[in-house]
Amino acid sequence: MQKILELDDIDSISIKIEEYWIKKRIGFEHPFLFDSIHKIQENPKIKTSELASSYNISQKTLITHFKRHLCKTPTEFKKILRFRKALTKMQSANKKTRLTELSYMIDFFDQSHMVGDFKSLTGISPKAFFKKLKCIENSNIHWIFT
């Protein structure tokens, strides 16, 4: 991954990153992980306990499998989904949406909750993040250039 990120050409970087992640996924089968991800995408408010009970496993087992295979807990995965939703919403609104409106659109209780999640994921506030955000390939890829 480090070698990929050291490439000079943005197009080459995006192609190599995509190839890298596809290689990691091909051939991977899991008894409930893909279904869990799908359920979370359909209902981001689903509780981890509900998800675990739907497979007759403990929350600890579900969390362990998420960490082992996705390197994230179900809660962290939900945070990333909200982040992606924020990117999509800001893209469709051409960055004109106020942060308060955005926080409610992506199911946060309030703006400060959204700011905290953004800072934990990106290290910077949403305002600073969206100022640095660049879209490439017809706005299909979001990239931060500093």
Beta-bridge mates of residue 17: none
pLDDT of the chain, 146 residues: tens digit per residue: 788 888 888 888 888 888 887 777 656 678 898 899 999 999 988 999 999 999 999 999 999 999 988 889 999 999 999 888 888 888 777 657 788 888 888 888 888 999 999 899 888 888 888 887 776 555 555 556 55
Residues ≥6 apart with Cβ < 8 Å to 107: 44, 45, 82
- pTM for this structure? 0.69
From residue 52, alpha-carbon distances to 60, 78, 89, 135, 138 in Å are 9, 15, 30, 37, 39
Contact (CB, 8 A) for 102 and 90: yes
Sketch out the chain's domains with CATH numbers: 32-39+46-71 (no CATH), 76-144 (1.10.10.60)
Which residue reads 């990120």 in tokens? Answer: 5
Q: Which residues contact 130 (CB under 8 A, 6 or more apart)?
A: 90, 95
Q: How many CA atoms lie within 13 A of 25 on its CB side?
A: 9
